[in-house]
């Protein structure tokens, strides 16, 4: 390879990062405005596990959703919550939602209320929002443990300050025995649901977390401690494929896919440029 | 003296939670398991002999309203299976109170430091002024806003405060947070381009496995899967990387971290290794 070619290739390594930022911006935004059809996504066993566990929920039990994400993880977690709630209302499952993050209830309301209103779900009978629950001593383990033992003692009111005893659904939901499964959605869902919810109280636990956390939580799916896992936009898209409801997950999946492909391309370009520059230094 | 009081409180509190968690259900009672009355509703083994609980369970006239691993509730009484469980709620509430006290420590210290900055006319005092103004407006707006759902009444003080609260929370805080998180994606690409270099075998293995997992996550991976033969399915390869090598590594990391956390917890509980003054 002559010096001229090496010189051109080495410029790939010293490329101004602003060009990369521009390309990323275009790749992330373009699929949102262009009429690109939703991709066909094959569901992984972890997503199938969540779907099957929801299907096995008996009528006399509820599904508990721990939705504690906020603006930082909104792009991934909002879709993770939306696809799950869409499935619950489609299959007529009753659910209770709460947050252990003070910012989260606003976002929960923004996702859950439009879906339940559209599906004709009655608040207090088909679903309940407990709002923000402060973990005792800022300790998530105590929150999970106490919630599983006596939910009414931990949180006697719902988000509207209505006593739980006045809500028909909550009259039958008092402890872990009345809960079929827990679905924790967060950037990094608390492991205490596994150590206390699953091991101590026998709850079925599924997580919806950021894609970057998938390698960490996959261990618990493998060991059977998590009945399922939805990771980032990919997890959302897989779940939407299973439920047959196209939502936010598939809409952003193309952007997500383009972004990941460009990261791989950046690694390749950076390495070509780096090796060309190194080769040039050796020759000169 | 003060240090010893703290040590004793830490030890007793730790011992309480340890015993409450570790002691098996029924420890407060005469511990003879009754094979004729297995508790099918819970994973905990239930012990029944000559005690209040046995009387409840063996008396057909008593209506057991609720039975869990922790308590049995009848129409008129609740019997806890572990002697520490009845006070669990109170202890947790006490922790909540402590946490609430600690919550103010941060803002108070920060405000003192910022106030100092302004009073002593140090460099960067304008940032401190912004902090103080935002703090005051934030407290007033949060305390005075109208919590009723619906459009605010702009003519009232509460309505104005509601608008102010929404502007601070949704207009500024939310936008800043989302922007800062969004910037991560740009830095990610920049780091992948400049820092992820193929220098040795380890980085090569990492790069190949990361690329397979990433392509397996994209719709491109699904399209490729439909064209590739069975033995070259990206989805299967990606799943294998996540479930086999990744699981092994993660388990090793978790074991190590848990060991460290256990040691740290024991040191805290027993107040070991604290600096003597």
pLDDT in tens, B123-179: 888 999 999 998 899 889 888 887 766 677 778 888 888 888 888 887 888 888 888
> What was the pLDDT predicted at A204?
94
Residue A59 tokens read as 């009528």
Q: Per-residue pLDDT for B40 more than 90?
A: no
**For A271, which of B177, B197, B218 is closest by C-beta distance?**
B197
Q: b/e for B212-248, b at 16 or more Cβ within 10 A?
A: bbbbbbbbbbbebbeeeeeeebbbebbbebbbeebbe
> What was the pLDDT predicted at B25?
58
> What was the pLDDT predicted at B54?
52
**For A177, which of B68, B95, B196 is closest by C-beta distance?**
B68
Complex ipTM, two decimals? 0.78
Q: What are phi and psi of A230, to 5 degrees?
A: -115, 120
Interface test with chain A among B166, B199, B219, B226, by most A beta carbons within 10 Å:
B219
Contact B11/B268 with Cβ under 8 angstroms? no
Whether residue B222 and residue A42 make contact (CB cut-off 8 A), yes or no, is: yes
Query: Would you give the end-to-end CA distance of chain B in angstroms?
Result: 12
Residue A270 sits at the chain B interface (C-beta within 8 Å): yes
Q: How far is B177 from chain A, CA to nearest CA, in Å?
A: 6
Average pLDDT of span B83-94: 78
Angle subtended at Cα B206 by Cα B205 and Cα B207, rounded to the nearest 5 degrees: 90
> What was the pLDDT predicted at B62?
62
Q: Per-residue pLDDT for B203 more than 50?
A: yes
Residue B15: count other Cβ atoms within 10 Å of its Cβ.
Answer: 12
> What was the pLDDT predicted at A100?
92
| Helix (H), strand (E) at residue A270 | helix A248-283
* Token pair 């991560």 in the structure block, residue: B184
Q: Which ranges of chain A have pLDDT less than 70? A: none
> What was the pLDDT predicted at B238?
86
Residue B170: count other Cβ atoms within 10 Å of its Cβ.
Answer: 12
CA dihedral A25, A26, A32, A37 (to 10 degrees): -130
* Token pair 């009232």 in the structure block, residue: B156
DSSP A134: P
Kindly report the pTM of this predicted structure: 0.80
Whether residue A20 and residue B193 make contact (CB cut-off 8 A), yes or no, is: yes
Per-chain mean pLDDT for chain B: 78
Which of A32-36, B42-46, B68-72 ranks highest by mean pLDDT? Answer: A32-36
Interface test with chain B among A137, A187, A214, A241, by most B beta carbons within 10 Å:
A137
> What was the pLDDT predicted at B49?
37
Q: For chain A, give the number of residues.
A: 284
DSSP B150: S
């Amino acid at each position: 390879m002559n010096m001229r070619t090496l010189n051109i290739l080495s410029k790939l390594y010293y490329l101004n990062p602003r060009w990369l930022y521009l390309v990323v911006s275009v790749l992330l935004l373009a699929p949102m405005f262009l009429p690109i059809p939703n991709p066909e996504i094959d569901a992984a066993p972890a997503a199938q596990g969540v779907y099957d566990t929801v299907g096995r929920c008996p009528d006399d039990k509820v599904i508990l959703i721990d939705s504690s994400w906020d603006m930082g993880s909104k792009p991934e977690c909002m879709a993770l919550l939306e696809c799950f709630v869409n499935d619950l209302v489609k299959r007529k499952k009753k659910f209770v939602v709460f947050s252990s993050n003070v910012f989260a209830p606003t976002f929960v309301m923004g996702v859950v209320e439009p879906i339940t209103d559209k599906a004709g779900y009655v608040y207090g009978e088909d679903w309940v929002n407990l709002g923000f629950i402060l973990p005792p001593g800022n300790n998530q383990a105590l929150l999970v443990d106490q919630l599983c033992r006596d939910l009414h003692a931990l949180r006697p009111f719902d988000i509207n300050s209505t006593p739980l005893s006045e809500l028909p659904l909550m009259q039958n939901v008092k402890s872990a025995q009345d809960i079929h499964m827990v679905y924790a959605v967060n950037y990094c869902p608390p492991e205490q649901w596994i150590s206390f919810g699953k091991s101590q109280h026998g709850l079925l636990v599924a997580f919806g977390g950021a894609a970057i956390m998938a390698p960490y939580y996959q261990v618990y799916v493998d060991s059977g401690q998590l009945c399922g896992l939805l990771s980032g936009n990919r997890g959302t898209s897989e779940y939407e494929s299973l439920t047959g409801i196209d939502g936010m997950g598939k809409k952003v999946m193309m952007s997500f896919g383009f972004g990941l492909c460009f990261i791989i391309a950046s690694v390749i370009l950076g390495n070509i440029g780096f090796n060309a520059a190194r080769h040039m230094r050796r020759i000169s | 003296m003060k240090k010893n009081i703290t040590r004793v409180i830490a030890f007793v509190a730790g011992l309480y939670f340890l015993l409450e968690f570790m002691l098996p259900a029924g420890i407060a009672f005469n511990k003879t398991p009754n094979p004729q009355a297995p508790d099918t509703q819970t994973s905990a083994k239930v012990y029944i002999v000559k005690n209040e609980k046995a009387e409840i369970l063996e008396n057909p006239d008593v209506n057991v309203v609720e039975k869990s691993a922790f308590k049995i509730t009848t129409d008129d009484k609740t019997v806890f299976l572990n002697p520490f469980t009845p006070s669990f709620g109170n202890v947790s509430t006490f922790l909540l109170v402590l946490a609430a006290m600690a919550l103010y420590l941060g803002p108070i210290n920060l405000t003192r430091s910022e106030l100092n900055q302004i009073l002593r006319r140090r460099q960067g005092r304008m940032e401190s002024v912004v902090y103080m103004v935002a703090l005051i407006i934030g407290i007033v707006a949060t305390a005075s806003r109208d919590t009723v759902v619906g459009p605010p009444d702009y003519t009232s003080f509460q309505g104005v405060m509601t608008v102010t609260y929404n502007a601070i929370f949704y207009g500024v805080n939310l936008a800043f947070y989302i922007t800062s998180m969004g910037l991560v994606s740009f830095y990610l690409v920049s780091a992948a381009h400049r820092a992820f270099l193929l220098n040795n075998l380890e980085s090569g293995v990492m790069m190949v496995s990361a690329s397979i997992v990433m392509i397996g996550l994209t719709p491109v991976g699904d399209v490729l899967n439909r064209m590739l033969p069975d033995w070259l399915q990206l989805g299967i390869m990606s799943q294998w990387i996540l479930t086999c090598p990744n699981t092994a590594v993660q388990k090793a990391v978790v074991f190590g971290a848990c060991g460290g956390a256990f040691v740290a917890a024991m040191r805290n509980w027993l107040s070991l290794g604290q600096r003597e003054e």
